[in-house]
Amino acid sequence: MALASQFSLIHSEFNDFLFSSVGEEKNGQQLTMLSALTRLGFDPWAEAARLSALSGETAARALAAVIAMLPEGDWTLADSGAIAARLVRRLPGRGGVAAKSPEDQSSRSTSSRDQKVKVRTAAGLACIVLIIALLSATLLRHSNHVPVPNPNPVSSTQR
């Protein structure tokens, strides 16, 4: 089963930014923007889209504030501005139009799928209602049918 597009990293325009290294953590591992944003409780794609919509300078200041919230690794609080400026250059597009997150990019196909699901659900419910109505009618017809007693019953003893 294929992953929904909002979980697909193959075609995200933010990959270059999100998989960029912030620096090396104290344990020796590289910390990516994806991991850093996730640890801080941000939706990485939404934050990347938000930063992409800002001017370069504003995005760098906002990102520096985010980086300053991280525990220090091989960087210090004073390095936050330089790290942010480097990372902001990896964001797609500058200026007026916000770049779309994978969730936004899939909104048309998702709404189309949602519409199909609604139609299928309605059709399924209509079928269930029809089946219940037919069963009810059958049961009522059989319950109203009272057998007429035979006026001259012949018993096996009278023969």
74 and 111 within one domain: no
pLDDT at residue 8, rounded to an integer = 52
Q: Are residues 97 and 124 in the same domain?
A: no
What residues in the chain have per-residue pLDDT under 50? 1-3, 94-108
33 and 93 co-located in one domain: yes
* Count of domains observed in the chain: 2
Residues 18 and 82 in one domain: yes
Determine the pLDDT at residue 80: 87
Computed on alpha carbons and rounded to an integer, the radius of gyration of the chain in Å comes to 33
Q: What is the pLDDT of residue 141?
A: 78
Tokens representing residue 59 in the block: 């995005």
